[in-house]
Structure 1
């Protein structure tokens, strides 16, 4: 028991770098353009959906420790076709989120060539992962301290200088729910601690009871402070046009000397968040291969390449706002499935009541269906196309296997 506080802090620190990615550095621009200052109360709705979904994935991870994340949980609880739908939206969300994180890195670190910077980040992070690098507790603590320290300086700076009067305000309260869906992507790295990968040490129930609310709560406070700061300094109309809100807020607050620190923090957060995103997509692809939905001859290196290519295509064809919207919308559909499967867990496998899964399911569907139309349409198209492709591949593999079994009998 004496080690539990230390374990809680270490677990929260392990999850923070996966959470503090594109959302805190770029997400407020798109959100402010839709809802203005209403993005701040919308964050509470996003956090509630994330909290319920975190509870659901943590319970299912404990019940199915060797499953391939949400895809595996849904397959075990709801069946093959819901699992294929889950895998489709998860892979789409991971590629779009990788694009959003990488483009954020490009906007801050390589502003003259953001797309090139984004592609380099994806390739470099994938090579790090392939070489066996992992964000353990020590590295995660260091990354968290760097990012949180710089964000604290940004907030202090933008609140210390009176802002220039804004020419106008953007956004409407009518977009509050849609913006809550958009900002959900800012919290979705919680699976770093709620659904450990194979070979990783699982976290005890007693630790997770505290670590999950602390991780989501701390992230909420950070987003609230940063969002209020950049909105105050830039105004919603100006913020909506900014490719790098924290940098522009510092310039407006006469604190340009801190811009290099923000670039360092954006780079650290970008690598950490992207590392989790790529590994998460790789795990889902591995699960599809193991369950026979993809060809068994696909090697891990091929799966890694597939994730990198998908992320690169998203970078090439999706602007930042679109990538973030698709990532959030597809992710919400993914958690709708995982919350639905958590509802049917046996009582002995539960740490949190079934009501949290029901609430998570309802919030996920509500927020997803309230997203901007382009993000919703792309997500639905990806859901349909991905599920059909996975089903077709599995059917062809089944026919080949059946023909091989019957060939010797015919002879």
Structure 2
């Protein structure tokens, strides 16, 4: 794929833009110039507070249970490096490359909002890693979400400081060697920077954003497959009539009904049985597609609004407010907004599979669909699609288990 440039300003990143940059390793990113001004201003505040020996969580204090321990100015840099190393406690299989790229882009986008106090040069190094296609080796397990994605983001930051490993052509390789190969100098973290790099929701946000990107494709395909099944089963298009759906105008329902009408319009199969067809209405799995598909579409739309809001949010702690010369300790790193909506999304996606499998049963069951048993003209000698339907039913059951909150 050709490279394309994504400009990050902390406020306008979309799921589609993130997905394109995450799946295309040749995509390039750069920082918005106004964002650079904000970053420099917040960093100046951090440097001033360190010089004043102001007590600020994570800058001049320890972390968590050690928040009451004052850290003198001479140790603030060591504090940040120690934070990264101690929090690299992930385990399990590595995250997919596209998730890691999404995490890196999302973290940069949060930092350029100018509330985190990171240096511009540190951000530039992270941008260079993304543009070079460098993928830190990040274990997939170890984040509970209530404190953000501390362990996964620590493994990301570990690569930035020239430690740990990266993934190159599927193989784990020394980060120091990979950075050197691309001419990137490992970052020596300054005050607040370790905390700024790891305090956030970027792993769960990456999963959410790329899941929504795929969910939109599933929603479109569900209508196409449903229309084909309706035609094959000699179903009626009456249940897709716009007048019916305008009486219950859920946006997703209206969209799916319109798609189904458009896809079936002009079908020679439909015309062949329009007269003499005494069937009043079709089974739920056909007749209720707009309502079922539409409800899932509306869930995807809601999830999109929550995830895109999160993608353009500041999730660090503490946050720096330059105009007021102050910092505020809080909990913007908490993953609850994403956790709830992604559970909702999982349930909605499982419903696409559930109704699709019920249509599949009608296609292979001659008593229900009127087609040859298991869609084979030579039943007995051939078993046709018998086991394919069994597999579909199995996957639907597994989906429902996986969609449990």
Q: Name the TM-score, length of structure 1 as normaliser.
A: 0.28
- Larger Rg belongs to: 2
More strand by share: 2
More helix by share: 1
